[in-house]
Amino acid sequence: MRMNRHWIKGLVLAAGAITTAGLHAAEAPVQRPGYVLQADVQGSGAMTVVFESGFGQGGGAWKDVIAGLGADCRCITYARAGLGKSGTDGKPKTIDQHVADLGAVIDTLAPGVKVVLVGHSYGGLLATEYARRHPERLQGLVLVDPATMGQRHAFMQADRIRVMADDKALLAMLPPSMGADYRVLIAQLDSPGATTPRAMPDVPVALLTSTRVPAAPFVFEETAQGKALWKMQHALLFAGFTRGMHAYVATGHNIERENPAAVVAAIGSVSAPAGGANH
């Protein structure tokens, strides 16, 4: 599963310094049972964009995208439970619990407003699951190199030994609380139900897929074989939607940092009037 292995490098750098988007942002607490999520609201305007970050990352990952959108766009970022300034009840969270927290952020900070939901990596998986359950709340969906429910099965079938080794390396690097979240997550994605076909909502979608294969791959997903499977997973995901666009971006996994303009353009594509790009 691509999102886990790319966490290895990203979290080595970020685990001790997770931040949320900061420039001219107003902090906004979101109450949850047993803890408070800390969100940031930045800018104003008719369009509201909610960002869901990758595993272990706070809203700061989106700062260049937010800058590209400008002050006329109302941008909402937050840190999931136990990250950044957000509280926790001390229990590892399932996908469903994270989706519920995302819903609380949207309902608290954008009540009665259709939003553009943007998710990267694990955040892309959460954004997809939220969209499936609450399509009426979305103006559009942007998936930035997203994880998928079925991809871990695909990677395990291709190279189980390598995937297990990557899991072991990641768990050795993660703080205990994040390691607990990771164990719960892979248990869910290793379950037979993870491969069950899921109906996708009728909302405009923009899916961005990274294509770069490094000269010295660090993990299986960075190899040519891993990249081919990654593209296949995204093609299957996109096929479930009825309208939108799927673009390939010549970057590594963190498209929002390496090419924020591509994400800004994707947000624009799903917020435009009906009749835009299709499959």
Residue 242 tokens, joined: 């009825």
- CA pair distance 265, 197, nearest whole angstrom: 29
Q: How confident is the prediction along the chain (279 residues), in pLDDT tens digits per residue? A: 444 455 444 443 343 333 333 446 799 999 999 999 999 999 988 999 999 999 989 899 999 999 999 988 999 999 999 999 999 999 999 999 999 999 999 999 999 999 999 999 999 999 999 999 999 999 999 999 999 999 999 999 999 999 999 999 989 999 999 999 999 999 999 999 999 989 999 999 999 999 999 888 877 888 899 999 999 999 999 999 999 999 999 999 999 999 999 999 999 999 976 444 445
CB 248 within 8 A of CB 259: no
- b/e map of 210-221 (b: 16 or more CB within 10 Å)? beeeeeeeebbb
Choose among 249, 256, 219: nearest CA to 234: 249
- CA pair distance 65, 169, nearest whole angstrom: 31
Ordered by start, the domain boundaries in the chain are 2-271
Per CATH, is 2-271 categorized as 3.40.47.10? no
SS3 46: coil
Which residues face 9 on adjacent strands?
none
pTM for this one?
0.90
